Copies of this chain bind each other. A is one copy, B any other.
């Protein structure tokens, strides 16, 4: 069931967009990208499993990217969970500040050597982490015959220090051949994400934000053809505080004591955006926000 109704969450019945699989002009193919917001714990993984086939069909999706940094009970991602997502046809997994929470991911990243398109290569960590860290922040692949790239960046405002995400994007874009490029900016501050959107407008297909776990309603295509949204929102339990049992987080605000956060369970929703773009130019035509429950 698509969430909505009196409580007001946007959504509506998934629209079957048949037109989208038709060529939009001679020789050009519509590329339709699904980006799934931060998958949080078992509730997040389960709703992806349940709803993804329907979304792919109804929205004529070609390429699936998901932020998976909270997939292991809210904290990090394991190789097994990454591969579970790949089996659901996710193409590339992005992450963020929780990427190292499960140490197994380090070995997984280090396995990549000599196997540039193996599954471990399709799990990213932010590209503006120190260059000598395990893993990579960019993936270049093909979907059918269409080259595409995914860049993972992390913000710096109200977050740990890292290299400059703006200049890191510049540097990566100099060597990427694909026209279809999606950027996940995992960041806290709205100003930093919006600034990156404007900075990359016309140079990438989409800049989508993650990290705050709340979907924003400011999705739009910027004037030069980059689809933008400040935050895609969490895919996980909304009967909590950004995924965590609400009594634990409220308690933390009240008493300031150390607490071990546990994932919430109820009211799972899948938050995502669908970006429609021209595969020749990489320009976005539209971005549509989804919230399913």
Show the binding face of A for B, using Cβ within 8 Å.
Answer: 4, 6-10, 100-101, 129-130, 133, 156-158, 160-164, 166-167, 188-192, 194-196, 198-199, 212-221, 227, 230-231, 233, 238, 241-242, 246, 249-250, 253-258, 273, 285-289, 291
Contact = CB atoms under 8 A, between A and B. Distances in A.
6 contacts: A7-B220, A130-B254, A196-B253, A198-B246, A214-B216, A216-B231
A201 to B, nearest CB: 10
Contact of A163 (B133, B163, B217, B289): B163
A250 B214 contact: no
Closest 10 CB pairs of A and B: A156-B161, A7-B220, A217-B217, A8-B219, A100-B257, A215-B217, A190-B214, A190-B212, A158-B158, A6-B286
Contacts of A285: 6
A253 B220 contact: no
A190 B213 contact: yes
A169 to B, nearest CB: 11
Given A162-B256, A253-B195, A217 B233 contact: yes
Contacts of A191: 241-242, 249
